[in-house]
Structure 1
Amino acid sequence: MDMECLEHGIVKYGTPLYVFNIDEMRKTVSLFRKKLGGKAGLCFAMKANPFLTRQMAAITDRIEVCSMGEFEICRKLKIEPEKILISGVLKEREDIYSILSHYRGACTYTIESLNQFHAMAEWCDANNEVIHVYLRLTSGNQFGMDAETIQNMVFKRNMCPFLKIQGIHYFSGTQKKSMEKVKKEFAYLDNFLKNLEETSEFQIEELEYGPGIPVPYFEGQKDAIEENIQIITDAILSMQWKGSIILEMGRALAARCGYYLTSVKDIKQSDGKNYCIVDGGIHQINYDGQIRGMYLPMFRVSPEHHYGAKRAYTVCGSLCTVNDILMQNAEIINLKIGNVLVFERAGAYAMTEGMALFLSHELPQAAFYSKEMGWKLARKKQGLYKYNMEDEIDDGNIDEYFNGNR
């Protein structure tokens, strides 16, 4: 996204501001489609950026929903149920029933445990409704079930005729440092699926797999997205199991389309060290792997200066904590109060993983941009202080003590 366009957004909306470039989002998804060559579908994990849910639903095959809040987002956006995968390690029985009552058998569900299996089976039996499910295979953590449990479920599938096993779901983590692990996981899944089919005499139609493709955020990191997609494509082609594959991703599809803009509000020097204070902070932007600004993310400065003194700055946010450091030793030419720092690759998790409620600061505005449609405000500034104080609730209890009157 060119600086002239970003500066238009600064004038229009001010800072702090998130900008999500829909054209760049589409470009990334198109790249995956092209490189995969039809060998796998795409599922967008909406937790990476809930703002992009509607746009991603239009260009990917599926949206992964992992909470009741995400379910409500999809319901309000009227996302087609056929495009929804209900996932998540915790599904309360009442939540399961609420979702099932709304979508019934129109979407797909993951099963993470025996408790979830029984809850879904009971609802289906009571409502005479067939639903399609993925059995989630654990990768050695709290998610999913072990191979033996899944095998037993497949063996006993006829005992629950309303639960149609559609496939296996597998995810082992994000930001993998080596694609060798991805290749090993494909080989493991290939062997698991083949053995499961042979021992159960049941065809597993689909595999939903989260490869955890890394996204480079910092200087010195290689951008190997095309190479990594090719590795995945080759791994799929080498599999003996020949069912359908859907790649579940969030970061890899969304990171590149996002920008976080924050204004320089103060510049000072202490003990020979240059500090730049901005109106944002770590409560509004988070890069995976960043620790107190030790790594230098990709960023630009508006307006851009090509002449003047270049100094190294420690860029700090507006929070009252020494941990609020966005960058250390960021070399910037002729930095002035009023300049805007533009942090790139902030389209996934960057806006949701910060400690938003700390100090009761406002949530920043967020905007969409596309060359064809122009600008659209996606969220106004939201005050958060009310979430850090008691509600005015009359529950009939005596509260003089709690109000400090005793």
Structure 2
Amino acid sequence: MRQTPYYVFDTDEFAKRAAMIRAALDCKGGRRIPLCFSIKANPFLLHRLPEGLDHVEVCSPGELEICIALGVKPECIIYSGVMKEKCDIERAVSYGAGILTCESIRHATLISEVMLECMSEGAQEVGFVEKKAQVILRLTSGNQFGMSLEDIEYIISHPDEFKGITVIGIHYYSGTQKSLRKINKDLEKIKSALAMLKDKYSFEPQLVEYGPGLCVEYFEDDWQEKEKQSLDEAAEVLREFAEEYPLGIEMGRFLAASCGKYYTQVKDLKSTGDANYAILDGGIHHLNYFGQRMAMQVPPISIYSADEIYFGEKLGEIKGTAGPIGNTFNDCEVSENEERTEEELTQLPDTDYTLCGSLCTVADVLVREVKLKKLELGDVLEFGHCGAYSVTEAPALFLSRQLPAIYAYSKEYGYECLREHIPAAEINLSGKKL
């Protein structure tokens, strides 16, 4: 039995998405722009990384441990993060992380210290490799991330102070959901910085790692066409930049968003005044759409007529009382014994609903107003386009509700449980067990 709420992450869609981006970025003559997945968008997609990804960006010690546990190739890791301690760097270096980022002069100092200590006699016994660390210096976009151009100059112009590192490039990211105009502005800033560094210090980068932050269309019916258009427009200017500099592209949200769906069940229905409320067993502690102001925008929602959805022993097969409206569930056939027929559904009246979660706070509103076919207790709502950030960014521990289960889905492997439901109360119980 599989109870709501839960996420399903489609790794076939992830591979398809990576292939689409890969095709858009490839330059004439076969030159390849490296593509990096920023795993903070969804670490569960590491379960099955597709071809076409060259690097994964790791931004915390915990994310590094996930990569180590899953056997991610160390040479593929770009170890980033605004706060690095010496022990964090030692762990990344010992695993063999291919590239480390510096977001301050202190980062450069710490990485250099670690590498010099590794080169000392006997260091090889603990798994360190005698070589300099390859680092990229992050240029700030005007916030706490990265460092000033003056600090970058200092590191490049004082190699004797940082003998344990080799500066191979620059890293720049200025935010998400960006327009083509903002991307062009970013690239001009990077070009200006690189031109100055070449002129003053003869610095030639081996890698310019850039996050374009392409816009994900969470609330548009024609999201696929709009996102493809944004990708194609951005790819044109990125390919032009790559003709002049060794560009690498990192993406998180744009790669992962379309891969995820979230399922939550209707547990109560009531009306007060003119408002119809559907109370769900999920909520804002599981689901978060970037840019959804006051729950006014409506994300992709589908309705499944079911008391519960459960997967049969055969992976990918759904049977029993489950039945989505429309007769399919993620391309799998379902039992028809409990489904509402298409004729019955067309006869149901459209009703305006406010979709609320299970939290005891007036803020727990997933959608303020949406017109749906008349809901019944036990119906399951599927929220689409939630493959990026919701699974980790939403306040899952609030009010000690259980953490949702997580499944990966692919046509080859069917459904794979990556995480069962976890009682948040255990985490919030000061170390005691329930």
TM-score by length of 1: 0.89
Distance 1:41 1:59 in 2: 8
Do the aligned residues in 1 keep the contact of 2:5 with 2:281 (CA within 8 Å)?
yes
Are residue 62 (structure 1) and residue 55 (structure 2) matched? yes
Which residue is equivalent to 1:348? Answer: 388
Q: 1:36 aligned to 5, 15, 25, which one? A: 25
Q: Which amino acid aligns with 1:114?
A: I
Distance 1:267 1:283 in 2: 20
Which residue is equivalent to 1:117? Answer: 108
Cα RMSD of the aligned pairs, angstroms, is: 1.9
Distance 1:32 1:245 in 2: 15
Are residue 192 (structure 1) and residue 181 (structure 2) matched? no
Unaligned runs of at least 5 residues, structure 1: 1-11, 394-406
| Structure 2 residue matching 1:116: 3-state secondary structure | helix
1:390, CA displacement in angstroms? 2.3
Which residue is equivalent to 1:89? Answer: 82
1:244, CA displacement in angstroms? 1.8
- Fraction of identical pairs, as percent: 39
Please show how residues 322-337 of structure 1 align to structure 2 within 5 Å. 322-337=362-377
Q: Which amino acid aligns with 1:357?
A: L
Distance 1:288 1:73 in 2: 25
Which residue is equivalent to 1:52? Answer: 45
Unaligned runs of at least 5 residues, structure 2: 120-130, 306-324, 326-344
1:158, CA displacement in angstroms? 4.7
Distance 2:232 2:196 in 1: 27
Do the aligned residues in 1 keep the contact of 2:210 with 2:250 (CA within 8 Å)?
yes
Q: 1:241 to 1:135 in 2, by over 3 A?
A: farther
Distance 2:414 2:383 in 1: 21
Distance 1:242 1:82 in 2: 25
Distance 1:226 1:355 in 2: 31
Do the aligned residues in 2 keep the contact of 1:57 with 1:79 (CA within 8 Å)?
no
Do the aligned residues in 1 keep the contact of 2:109 with 2:162 (CA within 8 Å)?
no
Please show how residues 3-402 of structure 1 align to structure 2 within 5 Å. 13-38=2-27, 39-56=32-49, 58-103=51-96, 106-128=97-119, 129-176=131-178, 178-219=179-220, 223=224, 224-239=226-241, 242-303=244-305, 304=325, 305-391=345-431
Q: Which amino acid aligns with 2:104?
A: S
Q: 1:102 to 1:198 in 2, by over 3 A?
A: same
Do the aligned residues in 2 keep the contact of 1:44 with 1:56 (CA within 8 Å)?
no
Distance 1:90 1:59 in 2: 29
Do the aligned residues in 2 keep the contact of 1:47 with 1:66 (CA within 8 Å)?
yes
1:97, CA displacement in angstroms? 2.4
| Structure 2 residue matching 1:306: 3-state secondary structure | helix
Distance 1:239 1:73 in 2: 33
Distance 2:432 2:370 in 1: 46
Q: 1:212 to 1:240 in 2, by over 3 A?
A: closer
Distance 1:34 1:110 in 2: 27
Do the aligned residues in 2 keep the contact of 1:42 with 1:247 (CA within 8 Å)?
yes
Distance 1:275 1:240 in 2: 52
TM-score by length of 2: 0.83
Do the aligned residues in 2 keep the contact of 1:292 with 1:324 (CA within 8 Å)?
no
Q: Tell me whether 374-383 or 157-166 shows the greater mean CA deviation.
A: 157-166
Q: How many residue pairs were aligned?
A: 379
1:167, CA displacement in angstroms? 0.8
Q: Tell me whether 161-170 or 131-140 shows the greater mean CA deviation.
A: 161-170
1:338, CA displacement in angstroms? 1.0
Q: 1:387 to 1:81 in 2, by over 3 A?
A: same
Distance 1:239 1:32 in 2: 16
